[in-house]
Structure 1
Amino acid sequence: MRAAYIHGIRDLRVGDKPTPQPAGNEVLLSVSAVGVCGSDLHYYKEGAIGSAVISQPFVPGHEFAGRVLEDRPDLGLKAGQLVAVDPAKPCGHCEWCERGHVNLCPNVEFMGAPPKTHGAMTELISASPSQIFPVPDNFTEIQAVMLEPLGVAIHAWDLAKMKRMMETVAVIGCGPIGLCLLQLAKLLCKDKVYAIDPVGYRANLAKKLGADEVADSHTAIADWTNGRGVDLVLEATNSPMGFQIAAESVRIGGRVVLVGIPDGDQYTPLSASLLRRKGLDIKMSRRMGHVYERAIKLVAEGRVDVDTMVTHRFALEQADDAFSYPAEFHDGAVKTIILPNQS
């Protein structure tokens, strides 16, 4: 079968991969669609995220949906059924899993995370039953894929711990995660929700999805709040300055949730005195916990629009375009999707 491999920095090629042989109780799936995530773009642009380094050709892709290939009555699954897949399989028995922090499990098997576990940018893949979530019959393959980034946003909102309904919120960075965060903010917050992105078409999309005000620079937040800053900042950028921008944008005693992964794996510059003098409550968000059921419900009820942010679809043989378009902000790309079994 065919698969997209990252060989090195900006070196993505389609090649052959052995057909997976499901182990134990695993389910074999035909991959319907795969999203290109911001973390995938880091592997594409930098060849690594921290200690996760691509040292040999590697298949990325952890946002995906598939169709069950064979009836599995033992799991209540039918051939052809569309399912979303949680890419993470935590160990379930370490200290962090037992504390309920499965997203922090150091023993997790995570699809599409180098160097060990290949991802879903291929035609077939197997997954454990615990990772599989059937979706409603009226769901599209794209909607099923987008449950993963929405799940990341839900987890970040859980960390935000909104204290009251009348809080102001700023979303910094209007890629797919930021746009999901924005829509959750509009659902949960009864005061102003602001959005910042230097890329004009992404800021415009944030406005379309409900932001009360948008701008290309966070300095607008001081104007909108008369210098006070917002109660909560949700930072979802790839900028090394994202942390500093969030700290400058939030009020004294406010809250910051950092969701984005900075280029170069570094926050810079960062003013310690600013963080200290404001007495900020800072949370770092990583992946997600058990949130798929909530994500499915939000999409099924039409409370979150995951379709509008999907701008481009590519066949597997066009995988390099699926990466280069969002990496270069080409042709208005926000979220690109690869369809491995379509030509």
Structure 2
Amino acid sequence: MSRALFIRGAHDAYVAPFNLREGGPGEVLIDVGAVGLCGSDLHYFKDGGIGSAVVKEPFVPGHEFGGYLCEDLGELGLTRGALVAVDPNKACGHCEFCERGHPNLCPNVEFIGAPPFNGAMTERIWVPKSQIVPLPQQFSPLAAVMLEPLGVAIHAVDLAKPRLLEQVAVLGCGPIGLLILQVLKAAGAGEILAVDPQEHRRAMAARLGAARTGESVDDIREWTKREGTPLVIEATNSPLGFRDAVLAAKIGGRIVLVGIPDGDSYTLPAAEARRRGLKIKFARRMGEVYPRAIELVAGGKVDVASMVTHQVGLDEAPDTFRNHADNAPGYIKSLIYPNGLSKQGG
């Protein structure tokens, strides 16, 4: 019998035996190499759900993961033991939104690691073969895991459409914000102003290329003489994230909201947004971006390893959830190795 990390409700995570289900048609079994603790996993832990995705019974989280094939996958030219990534988003393929090329908006999605669909914080998992992503031979489980959050960052920057050498404000220097920062640089953005209340995250943003770092939106307003920046990308977990993005934006500017606020609600003074005539977009998951994510990592244009501050086994995972929820010093990105740290690779 396998083991898994379960979330039973708000602030209730534990490790217990897990009965692995039988595989279905078109599925392949993988040994989980590593799985990331994502901000959405943390929302399930802190709030017991995100919108309509509510934890009603114990479920296994984890949608950022890579693992080792338990059988040959000839149609993809892969053999047993190959390290692969997995796209967690199984869109229906036939709704209006899928047909328009937006599978990330599919209302009929089956998303690995979002209730009621169990995720990868377990030793083995069945996944659809169609969601397997082949990887370059030199990739490690860490790199495989980080492709999914990098894909979210790529999608956010695609929505933002940064102009060449344009000044950009990035609110939030967690994993997604730090990945967005790097993708912005790869896309040719100019000066990047990054803010986060935690000093170690600001330090990481500076290391990865932010021109200036500060604690809050007040710093951005000071640096820009209260004019703001033409483009703002918000990647916080704060109910004030939307408000702060508005306050950081220049008149006529653009905002992309990526973060999920604690409590699933924003606080926003409407006049500030209306009087600026802002263009606002919301980012949800991602589209078909894995090839670009792989190329950015393989080519060294995005450093995914530096922000991984903690790597733990399954038994340490509940405490890791609690530490992230408590904003423990030094935490940016944590990876969990359900089968042991020996499988983390290079």
CA contact (8 A) 1:233 1:250 kept: yes
Equivalent residue number for residue 169 of structure 2: 170
Cα distance in structure 2, aligned partners of 1:74 and 1:181: 33
SS in structure 2 of the partner of residue 74 of structure 1: helix
Equivalent residue number for residue 130 of structure 2: 130
CA contact (8 A) 2:168 2:189 kept: no
Equivalent residue number for residue 192 of structure 2: 193
Equivalent residue number for residue 149 of structure 2: 149
Cα distance in structure 1, aligned partners of 2:265 and 2:20: 38
CA contact (8 A) 2:147 2:294 kept: yes
1:166-185 Cα shifts (integer Å, max 9, x gaps): 31101100000000001111
Of 236-245 and 270-279, more deviation after overlay is shown by 270-279
Which structure 1 segments of 5+ residues have no match? none
Q: 2:320 aligns with which of 322, 325, 329?
A: 322
Equivalent residue number for residue 179 of structure 2: 180
Cα distance in structure 1, aligned partners of 2:290 and 2:75: 21
Of 123-132 and 245-254, more deviation after overlay is shown by 123-132
SS in structure 2 of the partner of residue 5 of structure 1: strand
Aligned residue runs from structure 1 range 225-240, under 5 A: 225-240=224-239
Do structure 1's residue 58 and structure 2's residue 59 form an aligned pair? yes
Equivalent residue number for residue 224 of structure 1: 223
Equivalent residue number for residue 286 of structure 2: 288
Going from structure 1 to structure 2, the CA distance change for 1:256 and 1:190 (only over 3 Å counts) comes to: closer
CA contact (8 A) 1:313 1:339 kept: yes
Aligned residue type for 1:322: T
Do structure 1's residue 24 and structure 2's residue 22 form an aligned pair? no
Cα distance in structure 2, aligned partners of 1:239 and 1:19: 36
1:76-117 Cα shifts (integer Å, max 9, x gaps): 221110101110000000000001111000001101111x20
Of 316-325 and 248-257, more deviation after overlay is shown by 316-325
Aligned residue runs from structure 1 range 1-343, under 5 A: 1-114=2-115, 116-162=116-162, 164-268=163-267, 270-342=268-340
Deviation at 1:197, TM superposition (A): 0.1
SS in structure 1 of the partner of residue 246 of structure 2: helix
Sequence identity, in percent? 56
Deviation at 1:64, TM superposition (A): 0.4
1:250-297 Cα shifts (integer Å, max 9, x gaps): 1000000000000000001x1111111100000000001110111000
1:22-69 Cα shifts (integer Å, max 9, x gaps): 211211100000000000000101101111110111100000001101
Give TM-score scaled by structure 1 length.
0.97
Cα distance in structure 2, aligned partners of 1:311 and 1:125: 25
SS in structure 1 of the partner of residue 74 of structure 2: coil
CA contact (8 A) 1:168 1:189 kept: no
CA contact (8 A) 1:155 1:291 kept: yes
Deviation at 1:161, TM superposition (A): 1.8
Cα distance in structure 2, aligned partners of 1:326 and 1:19: 28
Give TM-score scaled by structure 2 length.
0.96
Cα distance in structure 2, aligned partners of 1:170 and 1:331: 24
CA contact (8 A) 2:33 2:141 kept: yes
Cα distance in structure 2, aligned partners of 1:221 and 1:54: 38
CA contact (8 A) 1:84 1:132 kept: yes
Cα distance in structure 2, aligned partners of 1:175 and 1:89: 26
State the 4+ residue runs in structure 1 displaced beyond 3 angstroms: none
Equivalent residue number for residue 344 of structure 2: none
Deviation at 1:146, TM superposition (A): 0.2
SS in structure 2 of the partner of residue 304 of structure 1: coil
1:123-178 Cα shifts (integer Å, max 9, x gaps): 1111112211111111111011000000000011111122x313110110000000
1:162-214 Cα shifts (integer Å, max 9, x gaps): 2x313110110000000000111122234210100001111111001110000
Aligned residue type for 2:67: G
CA contact (8 A) 2:168 2:229 kept: yes
Which structure 2 segments of 5+ residues have no match? 342-346
